[in-house]
Structure 1
Amino acid sequence: MGSRHDLKLELTGDGERPVFMNIAYSIIREIERGRLKPGDPLPGTRALSTSLKVHRNTVDAAYQELTMQGWLVARPSRGTFVANDLPEPAGGETPPPTLRAPLDPAGGTARPMLRVSDGAPDARLMPATQLARAFRTALTSPAFVGGGDYSDPRGAIRLRTALSSYLISERGLTASADDMMITRGSQMGLYLAAAALVEPGEAIAVEEPGYPLAWSAFRAAGARVVGIPVDAHGIDVDRLAAIADREPELRAIYVTPHHQYPTTVTLGASRRLKLLDLARRKRLVLIEDDYDHEYRFEGRPVLPLAARVEAEGVVYLGSLSKLLAPAVRVGYAIAAPAVLTRMADRREAIDRQGDVPLEQALASLIEDGELRRHTRKARRIYGEKRDLFAAAIRRELGQHVAFDLPAGGLALWLRLRAGLDAETWAANAAQVGLAVSSGVKFVLDAAHAPHAFRLGYASLTEIELSRVATLLKRTIDR
């Protein structure tokens, strides 16, 4: 094979397996194709992690997995090698290898993967009967059957009107139906906002750690993404100001001020005022993602920044998916008329209109009060789950992690004590059937990844919440 640094891996994955397992699959594929032969050296973990742009501990976890299964052998002071007792391939390419399923450390039998979301709601709580009834009514309405004009790329006027009334009473926003666009989830809103605000090569400041799918949407729109640190009080406005002074092409700031993603902290009043003042002085547009406003368990929800800013200075994004279920891909954006027009033009080029029957059905749920009733019920249940999960984490992991009980939102942000590595712990957990999101997922530069986990609790049962804590405890020292 030559030098151990010559290995070139083509990672493949379905987005469901952990990254270290994808690396393991790729190495086995190279062995079975004969590109890696018995006795060949592998690159060091540092070299391969640099090549693959992943954390070194992720590569180390892949090597450990393959060593345990007999594909590789580790030789002290020499490195990691392909095992000598593997047969040479007979020629041609073999079918993809099958790795063993994760093992339960208690019994050694394969267990299905328990996946902890980053904060998804529980789809089982969705008012499915009421939504299905409203959907059927929309499908058989004269306007729909008669082929009415549904071509407005801003979305169904009925839903925009209903949402306008809802947001006035629930969030203090004075936006009319004409100030709003319905989108297929908040991801579309993020992309359209960036495309409307930024020319290719111009910059959008984002929170770091932050929301990687927002960064993907901004980059797809041609924007550069500039990270701004987040601390225990939210985005560091002083650092943002310093960057704004030396970034003449900075056009917008993306923030999640109510429950910062992923750390869950709420942006305090002092920083809110400083942020608003900075945006006004530098003529920067705020892209405010208020993704889970309704889920506030202590006190009243904090008013959005958009409630204090002139329309020209903010694009406000929200989602009905967090209120109902991830599969209900409906979000909304509120913006100044000129910005909304540019967003609508870009949306029309790829998606002439939204899902009209679904939008009409959701309007019915808002108009008859069903959405408010569902929200009150979900808020109570999620608050109870938060407390149960927090108690389980304290009981099982109290000496190993720290977290601030969030006033709202659907996830905990666990900070690991010094000496613990989040990537290694996540890899260990995956071995026993637990998938969790570690801090490296939420940063622009893996070298600055916080040793932390974001653990969504809302979609899990009480038994599953307890099991998450138990499995994390079991795998901390593996």
Structure 2
Amino acid sequence: MLPFINLIVADRNSKITIAKQVGNQIVKLIRDGVVVPGALLPATRVLADLIGVNRKTINKAYAELLNEEWIESVPRQGFRVKTNLPLIKPRSFHPQNKFEKTDLEQPPLTEHEEIPKLQKRRIADNELLINDGLPDYRLTPYQEMNREYRKHFNNTALNRAAYFLDQGGHPSLKTATATFLNGTRGLNAGENNIIITRGGQMAIYLAITLLVEKGETVVATEPNYIFADETFKNAGAVINRIAVDEEGMIIEEFEKILQSKPVKMLYLAPHHHHPTTVTMSSERRLRLLQLMSKFDFWVLEDDYDYDYHHSNRPILPLATSCHNGKIIYVGSYSKLLGPSVRLGFMVSSPKLIQRALQLKRLFDLKGDVFGEYVIAQMIMSGALDRHIQHVNKVYTSRCHLMSTQITTYLGDKVSFKIPQGGLALWVKFDHSFELKKLIKKAAENGLHLLGNVCHNKHSRHNNSIRLGFASLEEQEITQAISILSKLIT
């Protein structure tokens, strides 16, 4: 409840009756937008006690407000401000938004302005959604997580840890993450090399914000992960583009940029490029490491879905190689456990990790102590490994099914290659079907396509879209492709 004891003051020396004073002040609060339409007012006895007047006085004030149609009586609730206040007469009402006036300029629209629009759609529960390549929330290991929560809920040391400043993640999770990454990726990282973040995107933001200054040149692929681009723009960087083919980013184009100007950072996802899903070839990886040694630039390696392999032939990250500390490695537990589990990590030198921790504290003061401890226990007990093995089988099956369905029912109207791993397909539609119109028509038919889209006419990937299969069950995949088939035939 609002502090009416300070908002309404009875002046006993005024010639205006106290009942009228109370009514006038309530009207002013409504006009100023402090008390909003639909808000409940204090009971007459409560308000009388708050401002030190007789209850009959408040009754008179409310009766006058009722008569003037400012408030209404609600059975078993009391009095509330009318939701449909009159817009004419001297008592006309149009509350002023106190946050509208500002000297700041309207931020320019990004080149990816369609993404926020798509995310604002209202989607009925019975309609289908193909996302950018997220895991199925229905497969999140909630039972194992809840078991760990219950086991440690009364842990005094764990509860007290929540009172202290974030140390870059609970020590147990940093240690467990080092064990996990060293065992699956061969990083040879220690606890001091790791900071735990709220998802992989925070790790990307920390790395770019710490190292890239306004006006500096950075390099990214075309197409690229949209929110990495936006983070570079937020830092004021100048983005240079290089194309992507079946072997990943075209290294010769990158070399030409390096020879023409100093480059501060390269962002790439070599294991499963986002959005095209291609894996960078061994030859290009080796050449990239040679260029790092020669031209001295940072590499931000985004390995967002390393643990998903359909052929059981993972390629180790670039960060496993010798790189003189110039590769920053970021990843996410969210891709493993579920979209609502907001945990990621950044691996780098201890000095950079400490700088990242100082920046992180400015907008994320306390860590999720219990959540981090639970995931640490799952890693150390082997529960996370078992979960990865289980969902890998499920997602491999779904990948095969969507690929088969697309080939069977969309035929020569699309082209794609089955990726070595990951959670999505990158599908290019024939130019006789304008993808923007197709997305709109699909939504009208109950199928919402929210994956990364390439509309760049100068790109070989123009008219392509990322179709996430992992979050769809078999009948949902079949239904989705059926809708697309009807729309393009």
Q: TM-score range by the shorter chain?
A: 0.7 to 0.9
In structure 2, distance between residues paired with 1:53 and 1:253: 21
Compared CA separation, residues 245 and 139, structure 1 to 2 (3 A): farther
Compared CA separation, residues 364 and 243, structure 1 to 2 (3 A): same
Query: Which is further off, 451-460 or 225-234?
Result: 225-234
Query: Which is further off, 142-151 or 179-188?
Result: 142-151
**Pairing 1:473–2:485 present:** yes
Report the alpha carbon displacement of residue 271 of structure 1 after superposing the two structures with TM.
Answer: 0.6
Conserved 8 A contact 2:132-2:451: no
Q: Secondary structure at the match of 1:315?
A: strand
**Pairing 1:209–2:252 present:** no
Which letter maps to 2:257? Answer: I
Compared CA separation, residues 373 and 318, structure 1 to 2 (3 A): same
Larger gyration radius, structure 1 or structure 2:
2
Report the alpha carbon displacement of residue 266 of structure 1 after superposing the two structures with TM.
Answer: 0.4
The Cα offsets for residues 141-161 of structure 1, whole Å up to 9 and x where unpaired, read as 121334576424311111010
Conserved 8 A contact 2:161-2:369: no
Aligned to 1:296: 309
Aligned to 2:51: none
Aligned positions of 1:360-371 closer than 5 A: 360-371=373-384
**Pairing 1:307–2:320 present:** yes
Aligned to 2:84: none
Q: Secondary structure at the match of 2:339?
A: coil
Aligned to 2:233: 219
Report the alpha carbon displacement of residue 52 of structure 1 after superposing the two structures with TM.
Answer: 8.2
Which letter maps to 1:116? Answer: I
Conserved 8 A contact 2:192-2:353: no
In structure 2, distance between residues paired with 1:197 and 1:226: 17
Aligned positions of 1:350-369 closer than 5 A: 350-369=363-382
In structure 2, distance between residues paired with 1:264 and 1:191: 22
In structure 1, distance between residues paired with 2:351 and 2:454: 32
Report the alpha carbon displacement of residue 311 of structure 1 after superposing the two structures with TM.
Answer: 5.0
Aligned to 1:131: 145
In structure 2, distance between residues paired with 1:269 and 1:355: 38
The Cα offsets for residues 85-121 of structure 1, whole Å up to 9 and x where unpaired, read as xxxxxxxxxxxxxx9x99xxxxxxx994311011000
Identity score, percent: 35
**Pairing 1:234–2:251 present:** no
The Cα offsets for residues 55-113 of structure 1, whole Å up to 9 and x where unpaired, read as 9xx9xxxxxxxxxxxxxxxxxxxxxxxxxxxxxxxxxxxxxxxx9x99xxxxxxx9943
Report the alpha carbon displacement of residue 385 of structure 1 after superposing the two structures with TM.
Answer: 0.7
In structure 2, distance between residues paired with 1:312 and 1:111: 47
Compared CA separation, residues 148 and 423, structure 1 to 2 (3 A): closer
* The one of 387, 400, 406 aligned to 2:419: 406
Aligned positions of 1:69-468 closer than 5 A: 112-146=126-160, 150-248=164-262, 250-310=263-323, 312-437=325-450, 441-442=453-454, 448=459, 450-468=462-480
Report the alpha carbon displacement of residue 201 of structure 1 after superposing the two structures with TM.
Answer: 2.1
Which letter maps to 2:267? Answer: Y
Conserved 8 A contact 2:451-2:468: no
In structure 2, distance between residues paired with 1:245 and 1:427: 43
Q: Secondary structure at the match of 2:334?
A: coil
Which letter maps to 2:229? Answer: W
In structure 2, distance between residues paired with 1:175 and 1:282: 25
The Cα offsets for residues 243-294 of structure 1, whole Å up to 9 and x where unpaired, read as 222232x211011000111111100001111111112211111100000111
Conserved 8 A contact 1:287-1:314: yes
Compared CA separation, residues 329 and 148, structure 1 to 2 (3 A): closer
Q: Secondary structure at the match of 2:395?
A: helix
Which letter maps to 1:403? Answer: F
| RMSD value, Cα | 2.5
In structure 2, distance between residues paired with 1:252 and 1:240: 12
TM-score, structure 1 normalization: 0.74
In structure 1, distance between residues paired with 2:170 and 2:404: 44
Report the alpha carbon displacement of residue 200 of structure 1 after superposing the two structures with TM.
Answer: 2.1
Task: List runs of 5+ in structure 2 lacking aligned partners.
Answer: 1-107, 115-120
In structure 1, distance between residues paired with 2:193 and 2:381: 23
Task: List runs of 5+ in structure 1 lacking aligned partners.
Answer: 1-50, 59-98, 103-109
In structure 2, distance between residues paired with 1:52 and 1:327: 28
In structure 1, distance between residues paired with 2:265 and 2:486: 44
Compared CA separation, residues 264 and 146, structure 1 to 2 (3 A): closer
In structure 2, distance between residues paired with 1:475 and 1:156: 50
Compared CA separation, residues 354 and 224, structure 1 to 2 (3 A): farther
In structure 2, distance between residues paired with 1:272 and 1:352: 38
In structure 2, distance between residues paired with 1:237 and 1:149: 48
Conserved 8 A contact 1:173-1:306: yes
Conserved 8 A contact 1:203-1:251: yes
Conserved 8 A contact 1:284-1:313: yes
Which letter maps to 1:419? Answer: S
Report the alpha carbon displacement of residue 461 of structure 1 after superposing the two structures with TM.
Answer: 1.1
Conserved 8 A contact 1:191-1:220: no
Q: Secondary structure at the match of 2:336?
A: coil
Conserved 8 A contact 1:154-1:353: no
Conserved 8 A contact 2:130-2:448: yes
Report the alpha carbon displacement of residue 416 of structure 1 after superposing the two structures with TM.
Answer: 1.8
The Cα offsets for residues 412-459 of structure 1, whole Å up to 9 and x where unpaired, read as 1112234332222222212212122476x457x576461112100000
Compared CA separation, residues 326 and 147, structure 1 to 2 (3 A): closer
Which letter maps to 2:206? Answer: L
Aligned to 2:34: none
Conserved 8 A contact 2:271-2:279: yes
